[in-house]
Structure 1
Amino acid sequence: MRLRVFHARTTAQALAQARAALGEDALILSTRRAQGGVEVTAAAPMAEEPVEPIAPPARRRATFEETVGAALRRHGVPEALIETFADGDSLAASLSTALAFTRLPLDPGAVLLLCGPPGAGKTLTAAKLATRLRIDGAAPAVIAADGRRAGAVDQLAAYTRLLGLNLVVAPDIPRLAKAIARRPPDAPTLVDLAGADPFCEQDGTELAALIEAVGATAVLVLPAGTDAAEAGDIAAAMAARGVRHLLPTRLDVARRLGSVVAAAAAGSLALAEAGIGPGATDGLAPIDPATLESWLLAPPAARRSLRKDVMA
Structure 2
Amino acid sequence: MRLKIFRAARMPEAMAQLREELGADAVILSTRRTAQGIEITAALEPEEPWLIPPAGMAPPAVPSGPLAFHNPPATLAAALARGPLDQALAGALGFAPLPEGRDRPLMLVGPPGAGKTLTCAKLAARMVLAGAPPVVATTDGQRAGATAQLAAFTGVLGLTLAVAQSPAALGKALARRGPGQPALVDSAGCDPFDARQVVALHALAAVAQADLVLVLPAGLDPQEAADLARAFAALGARHLLPTRLDAARRLGAVLAAAEAGPLLLTEGGTSPEVVDGLEPLTPARLAARLAAAPRRGALVPAEEAAP
TM-score by length of 1: 0.76
Equivalents in 2 of 1:294, 1:97: separation in Å?
A: 16
Matching of residue 193 in structure 1 with residue 225 in structure 2 = no
Aligned-partner Cα distance in 1 for 2:58–2:243? 29
Counterpart position of 1:14? 46
Matched, 1:47 2:59: yes
Counterpart position of 1:231 = 225
- State the distance in 2 between where 1:210 and 1:98 align: 32
Separation of aligned partners in 2, 1:173 and 1:190:
15
Task: Say whether 1:85 aligns with 2:80.
Answer: yes
In the alignment, does 2:140 pair up with 1:117? no
Q: 5+ residue gaps in structure 2? A: 1-21, 28-42, 297-307
Matches within 5 A, 1:186-265: 186-265=180-259
| Structure 2 counterparts to residues 120-135 of structure 1, below 5 A | 120-135=114-129
> Do structure 1's residue 179 and structure 2's residue 173 form an aligned pair?
yes
Shift of 1:204: 2.0
**Cα displacement (A) at 1:73:** 1.6
**Kept after mapping to 2: 8 A contact 1:46/1:79:** no
1:48–1:240 Cα change, 3 Å: closer
Q: Which shifted more, 99-108 or 151-160?
A: 99-108
SS in 1 for 2:120: helix
Partners of 1:73 and 1:154 in 2: CA distance: 41
Contact 1:109 1:189 in 2 (8 A): no
Work out whether 1:294 is the aligned partner of 2:288: yes
Q: 1:299: how far off? A: 1.5
Write out per-residue CA displacement over residues 233-289 of structure 1, whole angstroms, 9 at most, x where no aligned residue. 000000011011110000111000000000010001111100001000011000010
* Residue 145 of structure 1, CA deviation: 1.2
Please state whether the residue corresponding to 2:65 is helix, strand or coil: helix
Structure-2 residue corresponding to 1:34? none
Equivalent residues of 1:12, 1:237 under 8 A apart: no
Deviation for aligned residue 1:175: 1.3
For 1:108, the equivalent position in structure 2 comes to: 102
Corresponding position of 1:159: 153
Cα distance between partner residues in 2 of 1:252 and 1:82:
22
State whether residues 135 and 174 of structure 2, in contact with CA within 8 Å, keep that contact through their aligned partners in structure 1.
no
Shift of 1:134: 0.7
Deviation string 1:65-109 (CA, Å, 9 cap, x unpaired) is 9xx83221210101111112233x311111111111111111534
Question: Which residue identity is paired with 1:13?
Answer: E
The answer to whether the 8 A contact 1:276-1:283 is kept is: yes
Distance 2:230 2:58 in 1: 21
Provide the C-alpha distance between the structure 2 equivalents of 1:246 and 1:12, rounded to a whole number of angstroms.
23
How far, CA to CA, are the matches of 1:109 and 1:244 in structure 2?
16
Unmatched tracts of structure 1, length 5 or more:
1-5, 27-44, 50-64, 303-312
CA distance in 2, matches of 1:108, 1:232: 29
Question: Given residue 59 of structure 2, which amino acid in structure 1 is its aligned partner?
Answer: A
Q: Is the 8 A contact 1:109 1:185 kept in 2?
A: no
Tell me the SS of whatever aligns to 1:240: helix
Alignment identity in percent? 47
TM-score, structure 2 normalization: 0.77
Q: 1:107 to 1:189 in 2, by over 3 A?
A: closer
In 2, distance between residues paired with 1:276 and 1:143? 24
CA root-mean-square deviation: 2.5
Q: Does the 8 Å contact 1:46/1:80 carry over to 2? A: no
Q: Which runs of 4+ in 1 moved over 6 A?
A: none
Distance in 2 separating the partners of 1:48 and 1:194: 38
Match in the other structure for 2:69: 74
Equivalent-residue separation in structure 2 for 1:222 and 1:48 (angstroms): 26
| Structure 1 residues 178 and 296: alpha-carbon distance in aligned structure 2, compared to 1, 3 A threshold | same
